[in-house]
Amino acid sequence: MQRRHGFTLAALVTACLALVGCNEEAADTHSASAAPQQTFTWKMVTAWPKNYPGLGTSAERVAERINSMSDGRLTIKVYAGGELVPHMEVFDAVSRGTAQVGHGAAYYWKGKTDTAQFFTSVPFGLSAIEMNAWLHKGGGQKLWEETYAPFGVKPFAIGNTGMQMGGWFNKEINSLADMKGLKIRMPGLGGEVLDGLGATTVNLPGSEVFTALQTNAIDASDWVNPSNDLAFGLHKAAKYYYSPGWQEPQAVIEMIINQEAWDSLPADLQAIVTEAARAGNADMLDDYTWNNTRALAELKSANVQLRRFPDEVLQAMQVESSKVLEKLADKSDLNRRIWDSMQAYQQQVTLMHEISEKELYNWRD
């Protein structure tokens, strides 16, 4: 009986020691999991004035969203255009790693790669909802990443202005002849189209547009749409406000990230940035859709003269746009693949929107 009792006691001691070891191991595991996670502090440079409605505020909001969603593990400090780098050097700064993030528009970087222009807007091209679908579902995002890969930059759609306006003119346009000789601020492919129609285009940052119009250094300028144009006070510098925005039927605003910085993030932070971008993309379009309505009413009350481009002018613009886009597509295999993909999708989606969106707009008012 005593031997049996001694065996039981020994077994009990052994079990207790094992339990203590398990608890110590669990404590070690818990201590490891509770160790501080790596944090990241990034700089975002933008092409916009600080807190500029829609564009500048979007950059601030996405930075705040990422900070909140990551619980402070990834914080982003936003610099307006000119604070850290000039407006038009955002792409270079991100490519070099001077800043980890950039916020701008792809067509600003056509001096680096003319292919980038496809990813802001093309004349008479996709609408905002169509562009989003092509990017996220139709292979556009992969083509965009292929475009920027040689520069060590990863792109995201971070917003959209929606349909833009045709611009502010100090001279009335009644025929195609009235376009000839005009000095017009218009970036991107739209500018090339106007050059083909006999105008002279210049590329100015938004901060210089008002003064250039007011002093007649230029005869006309596009900018964005009623919300941003009102904020810039362009109605005080030019007389006529033209539509439609044939040159930018939508305009993607991009967030670009240095590829090495992106690769340094753990998978959960990459997912947070990706989803923050998608949320920011929708948020900006909502912002413009809401604010443009109110801004247009204010512009009309200020006696702005709304004008529509004559059919003759729009037809000439459309023909010239096709020539410009085909010429761009022929410059490289990548350009051709992008343009063919966009055109194929536009033909498909037009069939749907002819019997849906277009009919709604035609009949509801």
Per-residue pLDDT reduced to its tens digit, 115-147: 999 999 999 999 999 999 999 999 999 999 999
Q: What is the mean pLDDT of residues 90-111?
A: 97
The per-residue pLDDT for 24 is 47
- Other beta carbons within 10 Å of 44: 24
The per-residue pLDDT for 35 is 57
Distance CA 202, CA 24 (A): 71
pLDDT category at 14 given cuts 50, 70, 90 is very low
Distance CA 5, CA 11 (A): 10
The per-residue pLDDT for 12 is 40
8 Å CB contact between 121 and 251: yes
What mean pLDDT, rounded, does the chain reach? 91
pTM of the model: 0.88
Domain extents in the chain = 40-162+250-290
- One-letter amino acid identity for 343? Q
The per-residue pLDDT for 52 is 87
Q: At what angle do helices 333-354 and 128-137 cross, to 10 degrees?
A: 130
Per-residue pLDDT reduced to its tens digit, 38-89: 999 999 999 998 888 899 999 999 999 999 999 999 999 999 999 999 999 9
| pLDDT at position 15 over 50 | no
The per-residue pLDDT for 205 is 76
The per-residue pLDDT for 112 is 95
Q: Are strands 200-202 and 183-185 parallel, antiparallel or unpaired?
A: parallel
Distance CA 363, CA 305 (A): 26
Per-residue pLDDT reduced to its tens digit, 30-41: 444 455 789 999
Per-residue pLDDT reduced to its tens digit, 163-213: 999 999 999 999 999 999 999 999 889 999 999 999 999 988 777 899 999
pLDDT category at 13 given cuts 50, 70, 90 is very low
| pLDDT at position 5 over 90 | no
Per-residue pLDDT reduced to its tens digit, 246-260: 999 999 999 999 999
Task: Please tell me the class of the 40-162+250-290 domain.
Answer: alpha beta
> For a pLDDT cut of 90, what percent of the chain falls above it?
85
Q: How far is CA 224 from CA 75, 107, 164, 340, in A?
A: 30, 14, 5, 27
Distance CA 56, CA 103 (A): 9
The per-residue pLDDT for 8 is 46
Tell me the β-bridge partners of 46.
103
pLDDT category at 26 given cuts 50, 70, 90 is very low
